[in-house]
Structure 1
Amino acid sequence: MKAPSPLAIAALDPRSEVQTWQWRGMPIAYQSQGDRGPAIVLIHGFGASWGHWRKNIPALAVVGRVFALDLLGFGKSAKPDPQGDVPYTFETWSQQIRDFCQEVVGGPAFLVGNSIGCIVAMQAAVDGPELVRGVALLNCSLRLLHDRRRSRLSWPRRVGAPLVQRLFTQRWLGAIFFRQLARPNTVRKILQQAYYSEAAVTDELVEMLMEPAADPGAVDVFLAFTRYSQGPLPEDLLEVLPCPALLLWGESDPWEPIELGRSLANYPCVENFIPLRNAGHCPQDEIPEVVNPILQAWILQKSVH
């Protein structure tokens, strides 16, 4: 089956009314489109939400049933106290994705992730292989500040990262930092570093990422994840991944350098590694006209097997 012709980039309004799924008594926000074909679940990165896929959902709905959800702690989903019964770990988010596939999607799905969403997708596939048909990974987080990575970092980063993490154990200090970070001008500057084109950093994008920062619990989620230097590395999961993987990588990503990302293509489960020109850390948002046809073709190809 051939992929559909490239479409004009339609986008869902990230402020539009979303659906709510109750997971373990906590509200999880999600958006969906499409009523036939294979299920496709989109998983955002750190600090983002389902709206980061607003330019991809309509195009992918041409080939399948698309679901984009907010991970626990992000977007409009619940943000419970990290000291409670539900820790913010990849194992927790894996369980959330697997339960979502069973209870909302109604069966196995293709998982598409960006940044840490790639780790979540792979963890879900490893934990529940019967629920994942394949994973597409966009600029996968290399987890460069992981405990097992630190020996490879430059001396300032090797010493500085643990120091900052220890400082953030003092909530009042972390809260001050978060408030300074969660300002429109600061968010815009960070995005302009992460994106290849400054023009792609629109007011809509900044507002979309800023809105959840005002929610109760947002500070504690941020601090919990910045202190999280354990859990799986991408190569740990690729080594045992039970399904095919497609890797896409923005060549101008300053956070997850493509030179390091290329090594992930050496694992047998990786069918293709596609570098993307004129894109940074979030190619699905920056160059959807390139990313969407690639994902459409891959999903259609895997669906006929």
Structure 2
Amino acid sequence: MNKFWKWKNQSIRYVHQPPPKDLYPTPLGTVILIHGFGGNCDHWRRNLLPLSSSGLSVYAIDLLGYGYSSKPNPKSLIAKNNASDPSSLNSETSIDFSSFPKKYNGSPTAVSSYDPRIGSTPFTDMEHPLGSAYNFYTWSEQVNDFINEIVPSSSVHLVCNSIGSCVGLQTSISHPSKISSCTILDPSLRLLNVKRQSPFVRPFVRGLQYLLRESDIGSAFFGNVATRKTVKNVLEQAYSDGKQVSEELVDCILDPGLERGAVDVFLDFISYSGGPLPEEQMRIIDVEELDIPVGIGWGKDDPWEPVEDGRAFKRFECVKRFEEFEGVGHCPMDENPGVVNDFIVGFIDGVINEG
């Protein structure tokens, strides 16, 4: 059942699935599920009840701009960004990024022997290049405030997919006392990030992003994307087994994307070529010695985020478990919920029992 929470004058949709009271008068733990790009709470529809049946109190939340949460225009948010204003949405404005390169580039995990695509990027370009509030720092504050105001627990386990993984990791960094563990499923390697791009390609990418975001071409592009046929085709590419892409799933993804404001959020995010990479976030967790166990699950057939690249994440001390799922693509929690639910519960149980 959908519920709505007012956050900084914005409406945020979430769902809650408590454990059966007759078996678990007190939940064994609390979980917040965080979706990926273009997703929402409904992408976890096959996980809520199974996870709660294991004794967990399970929440799923629509990030600002996605699902049925508010979608304020990115350009209007830029004008209102003010770190001293409690209603300001852009949490980038309160972070001093100047110390990042010196503090973390010399860390033990910043070694040149890593795969060149991950594990050794410099701590630069950590902000949204266009200043929008749609960034991982804002979303992490949204999750933190959700814990403070809605979740009856001071310590939760985050479970995230794709770009939601950067949200979960950032929440773990910014508010480590609130987070017991962070499970990331097929985390986005953020190939559009400026640190992934060749210096020769960057001007062309930046120009294309600006053209899409600032002209009618972007709206036309979104109009071609936001159709049943295109959404179904994209999902079939992301999923290893195209038969898992049901009409119900297409509706779950497409319907919120047709809401007013969705086109501006979409175009703003594909212009978000700055911000943290997952390996930078895990490096911070290691260097700061934050007690945040990270579990990683990865579909072996993920066409967007190759597991071959992701295996380098095993080198981080915070990564306590890394599991690959056979015959699964980019959204394992929906493609093979039985296996993935067992992985999530097993990792969280291990964290709880060790604690």
Which residue of the partner structure matches residue 4 of structure 1? none
Query: Where does residue 260 of structure 2 map in the other structure?
Result: 216
Residue aligning to 2:186: 139
Q: Which residue of 1 aligns with 2:314?
A: 265
Q: Percent of pairs identical after alignment?
A: 39
Root-mean-square deviation (CA, aligned residues, Å) is: 1.4
Q: Deviations over 1:236-271 (max 9, x none)?
A: 100122200000000111111111111111100001
Matched AA of 1:101: I
2:40 to 34, 49, 52: 49
SS of the equivalent of 2:195 reads coil
Which of 56, 76, 89 is equivalent to 2:135? 89
CA drift of 1:158 comes to 5.9
CA–CA distance in structure 1, aligned partners of residues 262 and 314 of structure 2 = 35
Give the total of aligned pairs. Answer: 286
Query: Matched residues in 1 for 2:324 and 2:5: separation?
Result: 35
Contact 2:194 2:202 in 1 (8 A): no
Of 37, 42, 56, 2:28 maps to 37
Where does residue 300 of structure 2 map in the other structure?
Answer: 251
User: Once the 2 structures are TM-superposed, how far is the Cα of residue 159 of structure 1 from its aligned partner?
Assistant: 6.7
Q: Tell me the equivalent position of 1:238.
A: 282
TM score, norm. by length of structure 2? 0.78
Larger Rg: 2
1:78 equivalent to 2:70? Answer yes
Q: Which amino acid aligns with 1:129?
A: P
Normalised TM-score (structure 1): 0.91
Partner of 2:97: none
65-74 or 32-41: bigger deviation:
32-41
Deviation of 1:160 after TM superposition, in Å, equals 5.5
Q: Does 1:104 align with 2:150?
A: yes
* 1:148 matches 2:195: yes
Q: Which one-letter code corresponds to 2:41 in the other structure?
A: W
- Long gaps (5+) in structure 1: 1-16
Partner in structure 2 of residue 201 of structure 1: 245
2:140 is matched by which residue type in structure 1? S
Residue 168 of structure 2 corresponds to which residue in structure 1? 121
> How much has 1:171 moved relative to structure 2?
3.5
Higher mean displacement: 27-36 or 95-104: 27-36
Report the alpha carbon displacement of residue 162 of structure 1 after superposing the two structures with TM.
3.1
Q: Which amino acid aligns with 1:100?
A: F
Question: Contact 2:181/2:294 (CA < 8 Å) preserved in 1?
Answer: yes
Return 5+ residue gaps in structure 2 as ranges: 20-26, 81-88, 90-132
Q: Aligned equivalents of 2:204 and 2:44: distance in 1?
A: 33
Say which SS state the counterpart of residue 143 (structure 1) adopts. Answer: coil
Secondary structure, counterpart of 2:170 in structure 1? helix
Contact 2:194–2:273 (CA<8 Å) still a contact in 1? yes
What is the rounded CA distance, in whole Å, between the counterparts of 2:42 and 2:339 in structure 1?
A: 18
Q: Which runs of 4+ in 1 moved over 2 A?
A: 157-164
1:111-140, Cα deviation, whole Å (9 max, x unpaired): 000000000000000000011100000000
- What letter matches 1:209 in structure 2? I
Q: Is the alpha carbon distance of 1:130 and 1:222 closer, same or farther for their aligned partners in structure 2, counting shifts above 3 Å?
A: same
SS in 1 for 2:14: strand
Residue of structure 2 equivalent to 1:13: none
Supply the distance in 2 between the matched residues of 1:225 and 1:258 (Cα, whole angstroms).
24
Query: What is the alpha-carbon distance in structure 1 between the residues aligned to residue 33 and residue 141 of structure 2?
Result: 15
Q: 1:149 to 1:200 in 2, by over 3 A?
A: same
